[in-house]
Amino acid sequence: MKSKLLMGGALLLTALTAGAATMAVQDKPKAGPGDDPMMAKWMEYATPGEAHKVLEPSVGKWTLKVKQYMQPGAPAVESDATSEVEWIMENRFVQEKVNGTFMGKPFKGMGVCGYDNLKKKYVSTWIDNMGTGIMASEGTWDAASKTLSTVGECPDPMTGKFLKGHSTQKWTDKDHWTMQAYHPGPDGKDALMMEINATRAK
């Protein structure tokens, strides 16, 4: 009889110990993203921040006055266009769609711009119906002059090569900005190839 009581007590103690352990596991908070260093780094990379807010003023509809210089020093080819910019991917990027004319033909283009938390730079791509490539560029924002400066490559079908170029987008106020794009001319020196003056559509 004594042995049976001892055995019963041991079984009860085991059951109580197992139950307490189970409750302890259930009460322990689940691990969150901050508890996993790899996940925390990924979340930091994926989360929009103050740098992304720099792009907010560009959102909306715009009327564009475009000047394109086919050769340095040559008269500009002028045209009108419209642009519409909106946030995409939960305010991580802005997407721009442009409609206009070029050399008397319909022109359509689309660009995407965002801030890369890893590169610590603004990155953008551009495609249009006047080419078959994707142009990419990256750059920095200067808050004092309200200017986004970028560098990238643009195609030159005449030579079959890509030319390194750079551009600036300077804000006069919340409703006006000017973009100027440059790339090397025949003499190897930087030349103004395009200028866009934008006014927010009312």
Give the confidence band of 139 by pLDDT, cuts at 50, 70, 90. very high
CA distances from 11 to 1, 6, 8, 25 (A): 15, 9, 5, 21
Predicted pLDDT at 14: 39
Predicted pLDDT at 20: 40
User: In angstroms, how far is CA 100 from the centroid of its own chain?
Assistant: 24
SS3 200: strand
Q: In the predicted model, what is the mean pLDDT of residues 47-75?
A: 95
Do residues 149 and 181 lie in contact, with contact meaning Cβ atoms separated by under 8 Å? no
CA distances from 166 to 17, 67, 148, 171, 192 (A): 70, 16, 11, 17, 10
Q: In the predicted model, what is the mean pLDDT of residues 135-142?
A: 97
Do residues 57 and 34 lie in contact, with contact meaning Cβ atoms separated by under 8 Å? no
Share of the chain above pLDDT 70, in %: 83
If one compares 20 and 65, the residue with the highest pLDDT of the two is: 65
Tokens, residue 77: 């080819």
Q: What is the pLDDT of residues 106-125, one digit of tens each?
A: 999 999 999 999 999 999 99
Predicted pLDDT at 32: 56
**Terminal CA-CA length for the chain:** 96
Phi, psi (rounded to 5 degrees) for 16: -65, -40
Handedness of CA 84, 148, 176, 69 (dihedral sign): negative
Give the confidence band of 44 by pLDDT, cuts at 50, 70, 90. very high
Mean pLDDT score of the chain: 85
Name which of 79, 82, 76 is nearest 66 in CA terms.
79
- Distance between CA atoms of 128 and 67, rounded to whole angstroms? 17
If one compares 32 and 158, the residue with the highest pLDDT of the two is: 158
- Distance between CA atoms of 38 and 45, rounded to whole angstroms? 11
Q: In the predicted model, what is the mean pLDDT of residues 192-197?
A: 96
- What are the residues whose beta carbons fall under 8 Å from the beta carbon of 140, sequence distance 6 or more? 121, 122, 148, 149
pTM of the model: 0.80
- Distance between CA atoms of 150 and 168, rounded to whole angstroms? 6
- Distance between CA atoms of 176 and 170, rounded to whole angstroms? 9
